[in-house]
Structure 1
């Protein structure tokens, strides 16, 4: 039987030869192992049956790894719902900070430290601009997400920010950004300050021997790319766009077109050609190597909240801002179960028979075949039945 064209098949086919030449670190091997075994008999699972029509369905547990293309859909929708509850009735900006490609090698050698530096330096620049009276003069808020790849899987570290177009003043008043929130900051000024601060911190880390590797020359030959545009489709559209990347990394299975014993063929959108769809073919080991570049260091937080949206001050700050903006329809906290989210957002009805619409019941569970921390429990609020039922399979 032909294997499906998916990331797990790429790992099956090419990990032994790739690892024999490159010797991946243990945390990357654990990630690949989880993806390889996700939703297979190795993870354990359950058998559910419909007493009404007799349909029987076998379901295997998921690995819950944040890099797995089969996992994260529910977590992504939960994230979007929770972030929508934080939205204010103001304009929003989508801001992106990017480092030049000549730093890629240094980033690869020092991922955890330099990803953190990318977060802190870009936020400090935004925060300082927000506090400056020339621009606004108060406390800014932002949600930041680390991306490490473009559509073609090449290594490309950058930070996306979602920024409300205004600040919370010291007197508790909300102040819109320039031109009633239609203009945030000058991107050339953002770029030059970010460039100078990042390079300064880079040399300091090198001097203190916190990072290893060579810092390339010519980092000031060209301006670094900083993007800051108003979210014309609205902040919800930006949240949905970024939500695609919050709980998945690098590539989804639907973009992997074919996998054989030699190569991988995948699709991607070329931003430089008006998002035209492109098809690329790579040797299997090369494709796997590109994917492995985007496996994050263990425990690294790739979604962060700053300013008045930080965990420490968000609840109080949003209440003050909403009162100041005379918001009467306050958002409710998310009370949806994962089953309700699956149905409302994805059109899936867990626990419902696809044949007749009856309620499925779990008649058997089975444990995973290897001992690690990847196993996921059966669906919430369901337990194996300890009674015998007769199911017709004809």
Structure 2
């Protein structure tokens, strides 16, 4: 029998469906997935204990249940998101910014599911190396970078990509001066994609990851101006400290069928960042 709960929590879904999930998919669940599920289920349930708050000036007291602090827990990470955004804002320079997005091609996405640590490390290494190389050769300067990994798209499909926010300029160490980008153009996207492809395949090979055959010769890299940079950071911060599915998108859990109904967002071709 289906049950409609006005404020369905992820912990409710995990608790109700844990036995069936483990029976069918237990051998396929990775350790970090099981740790996340256990932490979210225990969060503010009393299983982790409680804090007893007492006022030193009166007899008032209040007890709060301890939270899990897991980065995927929807109840725990608002403070972390706010703190990260404030740190990045403090680093912003009075220049225009650009966001370069490096997308893992479809042929490599199964590897990201099977070997996430190795694949995502290689993805970051290749993206950062590509930006650094283009800054050194084309701008003759060292660019600052802020890179954030997104593992899914708005439809919640596995779609790993790294967003790299860079200022429109960098330091020329030899001349000890600032080199500024002119206009709203940074680097050629097709050239970025070619170099990124070579660097990622080399990084995966060095990590011992078996690369499948038949990968497309042309990959996708997006490079766009994002104005002051703050809107781009705000966009990235929404996905930085949370799981893939937001609790407000949970619609229904069906006990008998063991199915969850949730909302997702249709893919948009572009989004405003300034």
Q: TM-score range with shorter-chain normalisation?
A: 0.7 to 0.9
1:251 aligns with 245
Of 12-21 and 116-125, the range deviating more from structure 2: 12-21
TM value normalised by structure 2: 0.86
1:7 aligns with 10
2:199 and 2:213 map into 1 onto residues whose CA distance is 16
| Match among 265, 270, 273 for residue 269 of structure 1 | 265
2:213 aligns with 217
- What's the RMSD between the two structures over aligned residues? 2.6
8 A Cα contact 1:6 1:259, kept in partner: no
Tell me, which stretches of 5 or more residues in structure 1 are unaligned? 276-394
Change (3 A) 1:118 1:166: same
2:54 and 2:136 map into 1 onto residues whose CA distance is 60
Q: Computing the radius of gyration over CA atoms, which structure comes out larger, 1 or 2?
A: 1
2:50 and 2:4 map into 1 onto residues whose CA distance is 23
2:235 aligns with 241
1:264 and 1:248 map into 2 onto residues whose CA distance is 19
Of 112-121 and 247-256, the range deviating more from structure 2: 247-256
| Deviation readout 1:188-219 (Å, 9 max, x if unpaired) | 110111112222333444xxxx23x5x32221
Task: Determine whether 1:59 maps to 2:55.
Answer: no
- Count, aligned residues: 262
1:145 and 1:15 map into 2 onto residues whose CA distance is 31
What are the residue-to-residue correspondences of 1:128-139 with 2, within 5 Å?
128-132=133-137, 135-139=138-142
SS of residue matched to 1:21: helix
1:93 aligns with 98
| Deviation readout 1:93-142 (Å, 9 max, x if unpaired) | 1111001112111222221111110001111111110001xx21111110
8 A Cα contact 1:38 1:62, kept in partner: yes
TM value normalised by structure 1: 0.61
SS of residue matched to 1:269: coil
2:195 aligns with 193
| Match among 183, 186, 211 for residue 184 of structure 1 | 186
8 A Cα contact 2:125 2:203, kept in partner: no
